[in-house]
Amino acid sequence: MAHSSLIEFLSDPASYPERPGAVSLVQTHISWVFIGDGYVYKVKKPVDFGFLNFTTLEKRRFYTAEELRLNKRFSPEVYLSVVPISKRSGAFLLGDQGNVVEYALKMRRISEDHMLYRLLEKGRAGADELRRVGSHLARVYGAIASDDKARAFGGMDVISHNIVENFEQTAKYIGGPLSQDTYNTIRNWSMNFLASRADTFGARVRQGQIKECHGDLHLQHICVDGQNISVFDCIEFNERFRYGDVASDVAFLAMDLDYNGYAALARAFVDAYVSESRDAGLREVLKFYKVYRAYVRAKVTSFMLDDADLGAASKEKALRTAGRYYDLAHRYVTRED
């Protein structure tokens, strides 16, 4: 299918039942996102990056439905439906079930001005907002079951694999954004924690805290609009990235707050989550997962340094950003708290 013609169709306001005044297109490496006045339609690109594969229509149908299912748990008022796109007599039709050639995820448009990271930048969010986010997330996670499939991701073999993989994949960046001493310190602390806390990780499984979580819970994926809290962009394309301890998701957002200079707000968020969820055991593994999340962000940013198509300025920015994440992970393991 010629995707240029599909993009042209979905860029036309007349293609939609809502008849928006205008439609703007935003592209990511995996999606086309068409933004109207009140609704957003998201179409997956037919790409294969190894960790995700959207190359067939059936895969795109499945993962679009998964994206709807997973995100409805966090924001049922935002994630609305999977909409088929058909083609008849050479013309595309939105919402028609015959001769389906593509699928779109329909979402209610949320306010860009109320994204949590923007509110923080403008000084319009503080401890009260972060406590509300913590309580909201505790209620959402509390409604998610910890079943046999989920519990398997809490085993020491899975957790160890994730940690070891991080260090194997980042050794080549020593001498760049990562020093040998920082690498050794973080690696030794993480491996020692794993070796000495098998009972702690086992307790997390028994307590029912290993679940199908969000997987990418950071400031850019949260909207606070008055009393409404919307959390979006749960990872649908790779189970290993979203299944795990709820503490890992909580740690991700806490780490992101720390990274951006909001350590006091990170504490307010965690305190509210623990209070609402009554998951006191989360604190026993919180630092471990904050280290893990900071290191993963450092690793992913480091990968940009290997991109031959990336310009010198972009690589310099990636170098600095990765270094800051490595340094944050290092501070976590060397300070007393």
The Cα–Cα gap between 138 and 235 comes to: 19
Is residue 1 scored above 70 in pLDDT? no
The Cα–Cα gap between 205 and 149 comes to: 12
Residues 175 and 304 reside in one and the same domain = yes
How high is the pLDDT of residue 263?
A: 97
Q: Are 245 and 204 spatial neighbours (Cβ–Cβ below 8 Å)?
A: yes
How high is the pLDDT of residue 266?
A: 98
Q: Nearest to residue 204, comparing CAs of 133, 277, 131?
A: 277
What band does 310 get if pLDDT is binned at 50, 70 and 90? Answer: confident
How high is the pLDDT of residue 45?
A: 95
What is the DSSP secondary structure assignment for residue 77, as one 8-state letter? T
Output the average pLDDT for the chain: 95
Once rounded to an integer, what is the mean pLDDT over residues 248-254? 98
Residues 137 and 79 reside in one and the same domain = no
Q: Nearest to residue 281, comparing CAs of 182, 177, 207?
A: 207
Scanning the chain, the segments in alpha helix (DSSP H) are 3-10, 57-72, 116-121, 127-142, 148-152, 156-170, 180-196, 198-206, 239-242, 246-259, 263-277, 282-303, 312-334
The Cα–Cα gap between 309 and 136 comes to: 41
Residues 102 and 144 reside in one and the same domain = no
Once rounded to an integer, what is the mean pLDDT over residues 175-196? 97
Residues 179 and 292 reside in one and the same domain = yes
In the numeric block, the tokens 């969820």 are attached to 277
What band does 29 get if pLDDT is binned at 50, 70 and 90? Answer: confident
Residues 308 and 274 reside in one and the same domain = yes
What is the DSSP secondary structure assignment for residue 304, as one 8-state letter? G
Domain closes at, from 109, 142, 161: 109
Structure tokens of 309? 């198509």
Is residue 203 scored above 70 in pLDDT? yes
The Cα–Cα gap between 116 and 128 comes to: 13
Q: Nearest to residue 122, comparing CAs of 264, 35, 224?
A: 224
Q: Are 241 and 102 spatial neighbours (Cβ–Cβ below 8 Å)?
A: no
* Global pTM exceeds 0.85: yes
Q: CA dihedral defined by 254, 255, 261, 265, rounded to 10 degrees?
A: 10
Q: Are 150 and 209 spatial neighbours (Cβ–Cβ below 8 Å)?
A: no
Residues 105 and 123 reside in one and the same domain = no
Residues 120 and 187 reside in one and the same domain = yes
Q: Are 137 and 213 spatial neighbours (Cβ–Cβ below 8 Å)?
A: no
What band does 50 get if pLDDT is binned at 50, 70 and 90? Answer: confident
Residues 156 and 301 reside in one and the same domain = yes
Residues 35 and 178 reside in one and the same domain = no
How high is the pLDDT of residue 337?
A: 66
Residue range of the domain that includes 51: 3-109
Is residue 309 scored above 90 in pLDDT? no
Q: How many structural domains comprise the chain? A: 2
Is residue 25 scored above 90 in pLDDT? yes
Helix (H, G, I), strand (E, B), or coil: what is residue 34?
strand
> Cα dist. 41→26, 96, 183, 194, 280 in Å?
11, 15, 42, 43, 40
What band does 4 get if pLDDT is binned at 50, 70 and 90? Answer: confident
Residues 199 and 290 reside in one and the same domain = yes
Residues 156 and 264 reside in one and the same domain = yes
Domain closes at, from 61, 76, 109: 109
The Cα–Cα gap between 126 and 130 comes to: 6
Residues 210 and 236 reside in one and the same domain = yes
Domain closes at, from 58, 77, 109: 109
